[in-house]
Structure 1
Amino acid sequence: MRRIFGLLALSAAAVAALLTANPAQAASQSPQPAPFVELVSPGGVGRLYTADPRELDAATAAGYRRQPGTTGFIDRTATTSSTPLFRLKPSASASKWLFTASTSERDALVGQGWVSEGIAGYVGTQPGAGLVQLRRFTNGSEWRLALEPRTTELLNAGYKLDGPVGYVHQNWIRAGAVYFGMFHTGGHPTIIARTKAIYGRDNDWWGGVRDFRDGTHYATDNWPGEDWSSLKPSIGYYDDSQPATLEKHITQATSAGLSFFNFYYYWDSTKQRQDLTDKALEAFLQARNKDSIDFTVGVCAHPYAPLNIPVSQYDAVATNLVRYLQQDNTLRTNDGRKILNICDARGLGDGTNAAVKQFIDTVRAKFGQDLYVMINQAGFDPQQVVNAGANSPYCTTDGPSIEARSYATYLRDQRKFYNQSPTGPYGRCVLSDFDERPRHPIEQPDATKIRWMPDQSFDGFRQAVRNANADMAASTRPSTVDNYLYLYAWNEWHEGGFIEPNERDGCRYLDILQSELALQGPGCVS
């Protein structure tokens, strides 16, 4: 039996705070692997490791300090190739823990009076793709867990290797793409009408995109020599009100390891019903492979009619949203709560914190469950998100960089943009590109007012992905959504924000994401 060291006691209040969040008592958990984070006890000796975001919050409130990054990503549910990782401590008042995958070691320690706190997660029993060995170390005062590549670091710090524990995922980022479900009759009414007026085609929601690719003089006169051959999806110009279209998109996204789609959601306050993106959402729900990917909706309440949401219509919108929130594959946080995104909160009532909170409270009451609400950083002060009744901010685009018309500026300020958000939970984003030139002259007749980033490149996109990954790897934020990444966008073709495979570049955006983030998937199918 390994040596048992002395204890460092916590206050009774601190111990109580930790016990209320015991991982064995969690009401619900996400089936996805979760960040396994390390905390140092208030006394500086004793390490706590947890994959439960609520326990992490309770521990930090009790004075524990989260260490940067993760100790891998651990499974929260058992698999045929995993075994439980047991968590024990020498006494109920101890502030140091020992983790073991050995039932005999656990039973022997419990027989000596140790307290078992249940299962912290599940570790692999054999090496495999994407897995790294989790090891236990001791320095005579405490036990630590660390991934195998950190062995030399721990030995140099005076620890001794106490043996392997099992295998965990080295990385597990949940990357999802913003989905503009507007490529169908009724989805782009202005574009459809203006395409008929300018190009003479009826009922074409691909107006501008199709024309720039085909060499319209609006493109060649204003931007001579530009290559527009990327402006056609690999599957052709599609109708996303058809389930077959969504089935193809789901296959493309999941083959490259994407975890979710974030569908834009619009409400028409004049018609008093869901509009513009409703058909694509319905097509998604009818797709035969929809259960292979999660989804969430982002409520876009713009500060102008008819795309605003008056207070008098809150109840109707909430009733409509519940249908999506009740789906089995609605995106969940790492502690199992369903997620609702608000992509623009400015048009909720009068846009004040009180009006936004009233909307969120209405949806929560209608849903009847503990709903996790995120508000987009664009157009809403991330410092005010909690005051507006939501749980955390997230981002999709970077407005200042878009206005600067420079991808280099975006890369330079990317992590600074993230850090405008408070130190609480946060959903990061990566901007693939912004190029609204196909909107000329359909939506913007003045070519000088068109915004685009002439210095955007695939190398730049790769760096943006690395920046987001590095920010996660150094994070000390709560782990609720700390490994979630919103990608702008799957198919915003009129704004140049697309990672959907296209005829010229194929899967290049998705290939970069999969390789840089180690996303799980067989490889992109274009």
Structure 2
Amino acid sequence: MGFPAGTRARRAALIAVALVGTSALTGGLIAAAGQDEPQAPERQAVQRNEPLPLVELVSAGGVGRLYTVDLAEARKAVQNGMKRAAGQVGYLPSAPFEGSAPMYRLKPSATASGWLFTASTAERDTLLGKGWVDEGVAAHLYPQAGPGLVPLLRFSNGKEWRLALESRKDELVNAGYKVDGRLGFTHSTWFRAGAVYFGMFNINGHQRIIQRTKEVYGREGDWWGGVRDFKNGTHYAKDNWPNEDFSYLEPSMGYYDDSNPATLEKHIDQATSAGLSFFNFYWYWDSKNGRPSVTGASLDAFFKARNTNNIDFTIGLCAHPFDGLKIPTSQFDAVADTLTGYLAKENTLRTNDGRKILNICDARGLGDGKPEQIKRFADTVRAKAKAAFGESIYVMINQAGFDPKQVPAAGGNAAYCTTDGPGVEGRSYQKYLDKQRDFFAAAPGAYSRCVMSDFDERPRYPIENADVKAIRWMPDASFDNFRKAVRNVRADATNSTRPPEVDNLVYVYAWNEWHEGGVVEPSKRDGCRFLDVLREELRLTKGAGCTS
């Protein structure tokens, strides 16, 4: 953790540089403020060893760089005139862990707008003896190389210090900087990827599929109607798509009941072995009877699974504007009460700064679907959550069917996506790829990206859609194209200047939407191929590798 010989002279020269001015920050790490900011108890509740984005901020005068994993501080710095540099320098935990090395943060004086970071206690003590100001521990470094870890270097140019990955060494040297030592190791990327979970594969699930399976295929109480039939060669498949291979349409564990906790235990093991961090449960409300609908049994099974705490979860409230799934304003309180019970769970998905996330997968059916009534709903959930467990929640609204520019007016903190509507309607995976990053760019501000494994609703014919010409699928979907789509996500995030609260969350469509082709769950034919692509391209290091 020391520094190479010859750096003392450079440090002495740097210390002599006039880095004094109006400081962008005062008193070091700044506490969060405001009703939508995380308070200290919430930050303490975060999984504190989860690597957080190390944000780079440039002083208003263009000289002097601040690096912080405290996202409240980063927001305050931007408000005070600092500029956010593109991307993250790395990803480091905010709390110590076994073998970790603290990265100290210092500056020449209380009013200076230049910062120096060091992992050397000797260097820190020397500078403090010269009158420098100690601003505490900025983050915790990994002491040696490991999976996904790369060297984090310090650079200087006589005017400021910079931190950067070793891969940027030539770039910074060519820009006039000199290497000022290696601090330690950091994750170069740290995506938290999760899959959309459709908890409909049980007797309490999609009642139309169960009923139509009886009518079309003659089987009573079968929620796998269409999927198992296309896999087994029904004439509905052979007559309309004679050369198509539907042999992938069987999960590796067979046709299961996801109201059984044992099923969810297996799904959790499969997902976490591949490095996934969360499930996003699509969730519906039966407004006619004033109770949860369709997916409740599966979600209950998730909470009963013995390994439920091995993975995070979030609810995606689908208030569709049809079929009794709209939520009138008169039922906002009842829905909010139910959601608050879920949000109180310890393994609720959180933002990088510690706020519990509620997703709205379809906002169009909340009241009249206008921003004012969506905001009323969001504020109702916020108030109930605050009263129940004392935390401010973070509301994200799905880009599908909703203008992401209206998210603030609708009471949301950020937009996100699960599917790409224009991509689906284009009926071509290549068209989806071509416009994928344009779709992301349409959402301003804080944002979480998504990637689709495929979209293919042919197993719905004819049990849900009797018009064969209306059936949508992507003939050019392939594992290679999926890999390209995941790379697009990684590339879009790498140079992002969006707020970092949820910038590294990725929503994968889907874990098990077998009737629509959105499947990354291991199958008997293809095993872990989708999950392996996600693990490789997003460089996920949790888990030991996918077990199907």
Residue 381 (1) aligns with residue 403 (2): yes
**How far 1:198 sits from its partner (Å)?**
0.6
- Assess if the C-alpha contact under 8 Å between 2:378 and 2:412 holds in 1: yes
1:215-262 CA-to-partner distances (Å, cap 9, x unmatched) read 000000000011000000000000000000000000000000000000
Which residue in 2 is equivalent to 1:523?
545
| Distance in 1 separating the partners of 2:475 and 2:234 | 20
Which residue in 1 is equivalent to 2:440?
418
- Assess if the C-alpha contact under 8 Å between 2:55 and 2:89 holds in 1: yes
Residue 344 (1) aligns with residue 362 (2): yes
Task: Trace 1:110-509 onto structure 2 (pairs within 5 A).
Answer: 110-368=128-386, 369-422=391-444, 424-509=445-530
Give the match's secondary structure for 1:94. coil
Give the match's secondary structure for 2:25. helix
Letter in 1 for 2:163: L
Q: Is the deviation greater in 217-226 or in 103-112?
A: 103-112
Letter in 2 for 1:434: F
**How far 1:18 sits from its partner (Å)?**
7.4
Task: Trace 1:27-106 onto structure 2 (pairs within 5 A).
Answer: 27=41, 28=43, 30=46, 31=48, 32-106=50-124
| Distance in 2 separating the partners of 1:17 and 1:394 | 35
| Distance in 2 separating the partners of 1:389 and 1:9 | 40
1:408-450 CA-to-partner distances (Å, cap 9, x unmatched) read 110000000000001x110000011000000000001110110
Question: Which ranges in structure 2 are unaligned for 5 or more consecutive residues?
Answer: 1-7, 34-38
- CA change 1:17–1:404 in 2 (3 A) is farther
How does the TM-score come out when normalised to structure 2? Answer: 0.93
| Distance in 2 separating the partners of 1:181 and 1:236 | 16
Give the match's secondary structure for 1:470. helix
Runs of 4+ in 1 over 6 A off after TM superposition: none
| Distance in 2 separating the partners of 1:365 and 1:26 | 18
Letter in 1 for 2:470: K
Which residue in 1 is equivalent to 2:17?
6
- Assess if the C-alpha contact under 8 Å between 1:22 and 1:117 holds in 2: no
Letter in 2 for 1:420: A
> Aligned residues, how many?
523
| Distance in 1 separating the partners of 2:68 and 2:116 | 12
1:79-128 CA-to-partner distances (Å, cap 9, x unmatched) read 11211111111111111100111222222222222111111110011222
| Distance in 1 separating the partners of 2:32 and 2:121 | 20
- Assess if the C-alpha contact under 8 Å between 1:345 and 1:351 holds in 2: yes
Which residue in 1 is equivalent to 2:4?
none
RMSD: 1.5
Match of 1:15 among 25, 47, 53: 25
| Distance in 1 separating the partners of 2:540 and 2:27 | 35
| Distance in 1 separating the partners of 2:294 and 2:385 | 23
| Distance in 2 separating the partners of 1:179 and 1:22 | 33
- CA change 1:409–1:455 in 2 (3 A) is same
- CA change 1:223–1:81 in 2 (3 A) is same
Identical counterparts, % of pairs: 62
| Distance in 1 separating the partners of 2:368 and 2:185 | 51
1:160-185 CA-to-partner distances (Å, cap 9, x unmatched) read 11111111112110000000011101
**How far 1:19 sits from its partner (Å)?**
5.5
- Assess if the C-alpha contact under 8 Å between 1:7 and 1:96 holds in 2: no
**How far 1:8 sits from its partner (Å)?**
3.9
- Assess if the C-alpha contact under 8 Å between 2:27 and 2:135 holds in 1: no
**How far 1:17 sits from its partner (Å)?**
10
Q: Is the deviation greater in 58-67 or in 398-407?
A: 58-67
**How far 1:404 sits from its partner (Å)?**
1.1
1:250-284 CA-to-partner distances (Å, cap 9, x unmatched) read 00000000000000111101110111111111100
| Distance in 2 separating the partners of 1:105 and 1:271 | 67
Give the match's secondary structure for 1:36. strand
| Distance in 2 separating the partners of 1:17 and 1:93 | 9
Give the match's secondary structure for 1:400. helix
| Distance in 2 separating the partners of 1:5 and 1:246 | 61
- Assess if the C-alpha contact under 8 Å between 1:137 and 1:161 holds in 2: yes
Q: Is the deviation greater in 211-220 or in 35-44?
A: 35-44
| Distance in 1 separating the partners of 2:136 and 2:53 | 18
- CA change 1:17–1:308 in 2 (3 A) is farther
- Assess if the C-alpha contact under 8 Å between 1:299 and 1:341 holds in 2: yes
| Distance in 1 separating the partners of 2:323 and 2:65 | 54
